[in-house]
A and B are shown apart, each in its own frame.
Chain A
Amino acid sequence: MSIFREHKTIADRAASDRSRHRQKIEKAIKESIRDVVAEESIIGQSGKKKIRIPVKGIKEHRFVYGDNEKNKRVGSAQGKNVGKGQRIGHRRRRKSQEGDESPGNAPGEEMYEIEMSLEELAGYLFNDLELPELAKKSFKFTTQEKMKRKGKRPYGIRPRLSKKETIKQKIRRKKAAIKAGTYNPEEDGRFTFHESDLRYKHIAPVIKENTAAVVFFVMDVSGSMTKSKKFLARSFFFLLYQFLNHKYSSTDVVFISHTAEAQEVNEEQFFTQVPNGGTLVSTGLKKVEEVIEKRYHPNNWNIYTFYCGDGDNWAIDNKEALAAFRRLKENNQVMCYTEIGQAHHYREYSLFSGHTPEKKLWDWTKLIEDKEFKRIRLEENKDIWSAFKKLFGGRK
């Protein structure tokens, strides 16, 4: 009585809508750098490594009732004992109070996980960004010969025969023959391969310009650098690393953390180290000099140093730190002093200490600020991208 139909389409009806949706997500990825820098250890990973990136879904907005005391809903609990005032479910924070501490943890928020390699990610981030004149000019090149694929050609050795390309040639010829009426697929037999169909992969040597860079990330890990400050630093460092890695064929990273003394650490330690001790910025910078001397000669390496701290240096060290900055500037491509948190207010200090305010490191470093030495202040997450643009965005 009912009708049955076997429905066979190969066409995926949702394909175009899905790709359109993906385009929107891609846009969202670009716009949400913060989410990209998830908990995972990504700095210093190889570009091929796949990472999972949580992306907030492209939300479709509706009028909805707020999730609060007045909005009562109903549930069932057959065979269970429930009582008035009983708590159910897990504790959660209200969406609007969520702040920016835990991205995407609000219930009901649509999250996607997108898997991509760091290379692809870097592509997303930096393709729109102008490569600054400054960095371009001062790349140091070494050359290297490399074999690279260079298309197909009609002659070659047997092992390099491209079956796919060859069959394409045959199909092309067949179609043409049918059109010209010289071949009738109904009556004539098999359409055979011809010598001229054969295509071989071509490999040719290319001279590759090899560039190498080393990035020093120096961070103050003293007590005043809180977790959220470090997170900000981490996001910033991640971007820097990815950018340089994108532009250079190989990039080394050196992590140096310092309190009143400095040490070279690995990435994990760098971001998770338990803070203690006071702050002597110069120790960190001296460590950089030491490592450069030992392993990275400025003639062969493009050197970048990024210092990150909250500017709370011991007053006696400021002059020495400044001198160290000056020395480093000489053999660095770009050097950057990043301060996290709000600018210090002189008044507060004078109130408590009772004497005239001292110049802080932020003020001292102003003296040497120029094209190769930048000062950047990060107060909150959204500053990262603009700071980044300030560093590398050319002269816009």
Chain B
Amino acid sequence: MSDWSMTELQDWDDKICTLGEAIGLDWYPIEYEICDYKEMMGHMAYSGLPTHYRHWSYGKSFDRIQTEYNLGMSGLPYEMIINSNPSISYLMTENPMATHILTMAHCVGHSDFFKNNRMFAETGADTVISRFKSAGKRVKKYMGDPNIGIKKVERILDACHAVRFQVPRTPGIKRRNHKELKKYYQKLIINDKTGSWDKFDINKIPLEPDYNLLRFVAENSRYLEDWERDLIRIVEQESLYFVPQAFTKIMNEGWACMIHEKIINALGIPDDYFLSFIRLHNQVIRPHLGRVNPYHLGYKIFKYIEKKQGFDECLRVRKDHNDETFIKTYLDEELCKELNLFSYSFHTKEGYNKITEVSGEDSWRRVRDDLIKNVGLNSVPVVLVKELKKDGTLILKHEHDGRDLELSEANKVFEHINDLWQGGVKFTTIIEEEAWEF
């Protein structure tokens, strides 16, 4: 049925690796798992992690992927690779050789990005698989525990998932716990001669706004049991692991596309393979009308950098930047105009999406800034822990940046937090220029 054999895969892989090294890439060893489409859907549902814990939401995504696939609404991805050492990647049995070659070259790009980009420095690629395995086992244990059971576990996990992206947006910076913070501030106060710290309350919790909502709850809740705190930490750890990927979606995909193109052009592959490669490549990096295709945008910017400053600059950029700085630095007027980027928003009264800005001479900067507001976790509202009162009231605050929260959703999430904290949560935000409190 398929037009390839394992030996062929290995032969092509050897060539790909040689070419990868020749252009200066440095990646984790890759482990390819050959699986069928059904298993692929399973891997997709669990974010590729072979040892992920159980939760009904993954069953839901599996069903959705399957429905969409069966209806022909979407194909399955050619590649799926995990930020781990070695990097685990999946190749689908059903795919032809040309697709595998492209996938393998693409995976080299991703693995190189994981290993080199500074955002990923603290993700623990060496241990991630075993960490998830251990977490999966613990969740299973709690579910099977007659004193706990699946319902109680789900209650905690449902709540945690609702706020899973309320984590610090500074990957790579170590969290200081309360003790360390207290020491730090005491030092400041003792050494202070200007008197500006006189009013600082050294006994308040937290000493500075805590962006890690889950961690704060796990550390400070009065009522949670150990297994509940453990579940919260499991979700928090997973978020911290995935945040760098969210922060670099455009770069990571753009980089991998650029690399696979480079490698394949140098591979000297037969003509019929080459044609299918071109077709796939163009499909992956085509612009999506009315939306921004991260593969396309990332690829374009990297190509642009290469054209102007050479490939070595690209290598440096893939190390130092994240999507936000990448766009801010390299998406210029010329590129904005070429991609014909525009801003739009939903106009409630008219019931239409309306274009609010196009990439013109001065206005392109505004479009770029709007884009930045939607990359990484910037499209997720920031909610932080402001204060834990003596009476146990937890005060949360939404950091308003001009965009209002969707109240109905916020309300539901609030209920989850309140449930997790077991009552006594206050949440403030701004809706249409007025203060709101839940």
Contacts and interface: CB of A to CB of B under 8 A. Distances in A.
Co-assembled chains A and B? yes
Interface of B: 6, 9-10, 13-14, 17, 29-35, 38-39, 41-42, 45-46, 54-60, 62-64, 67, 86, 104, 150, 158, 161-163, 165-166, 287-293, 296-297, 338-348, 350-358, 367, 370-371, 373-374, 379-381, 383, 398, 402-410, 412-413, 416
A60 B162 contact: yes
Contacts of A4: 6, 9-10, 13, 31-32, 34
A24 to B, nearest CB: 6
Contacts of A83: 355, 358
Interface of A is mostly: loop
Contact of A63 (B166, B288, B291, B338): B166
12 contacts: A2-B32, A17-B54, A17-B60, A63-B383, A70-B403, A75-B290, A87-B353, A88-B290, A88-B354, A89-B290, A93-B351, A112-B67
A91 B347 CA distance: 10
Contacts of B412: 61
Contacts of A61: 162, 409, 412-413, 416
A127 interface: no
Given A1-B29, A14-B59, A65 B381 contact: yes
A57 B63 CA distance: 11
A381 B163 CA distance: 33
Given A78-B287, A82-B355, A5 B342 contact: no
A137 interface: no
A91 B405 CA distance: 22
Given A76-B287, A76-B296, 17 more contacts: A3-B30, A6-B6, A20-B56, A61-B413, A63-B381, A63-B410, A64-B381, A66-B403, A68-B347, A69-B348, A70-B345, A72-B357, A73-B343, A74-B344, A75-B344, A80-B289, A86-B354
B32 to A, nearest CB: 5
A245 to B, nearest CB: 30
Contacts of A88: 290, 344, 352-355
Interface of A: 1-7, 9, 12-14, 16-22, 24, 57-58, 60-80, 82-89, 91-96, 110, 112
Contacts of A64: 380-381, 405-406, 409
Contacts of B406: 64-67, 95
Nearest to A24: B56
Given A64-B405, A72-B343, A84-B356, A77 B290 contact: yes
B130 to A, nearest CB: 18
A86 B355 contact: yes
Contacts of A60: 57, 158, 161-162
B348 A68 contact: yes
B222 to A, nearest CB: 24
Nearest to A90: B352
Given A75-B291, A96-B408, A21 B340 contact: no
A235 B170 CA distance: 53
Contacts of A72: 343-345, 356-357, 370, 373
Contacts of B30: 2-3
B192 to A, nearest CB: 37
B346 A71 contact: yes
7 closest A-B pairs by CB? A17-B59, A18-B59, A21-B59, A61-B412, A20-B56, A14-B62, A66-B406
A78 B291 CA distance: 11
- Most chain A CB atoms below 10 A, which of B17, B351, B367, B405: B351
A3 B86 contact: yes
Given A63-B383, A75-B291, A80-B289, A20 B343 contact: no
Contacts of A79: 340
Nearest to A113: B67
A89 B353 CA distance: 6
A64 B413 CA distance: 10
Contact of B292 (A24, A75, A87, A96): A75
Nearest to A58: B60
Contacts of B380: 62-64
Contacts of A16: 54, 59
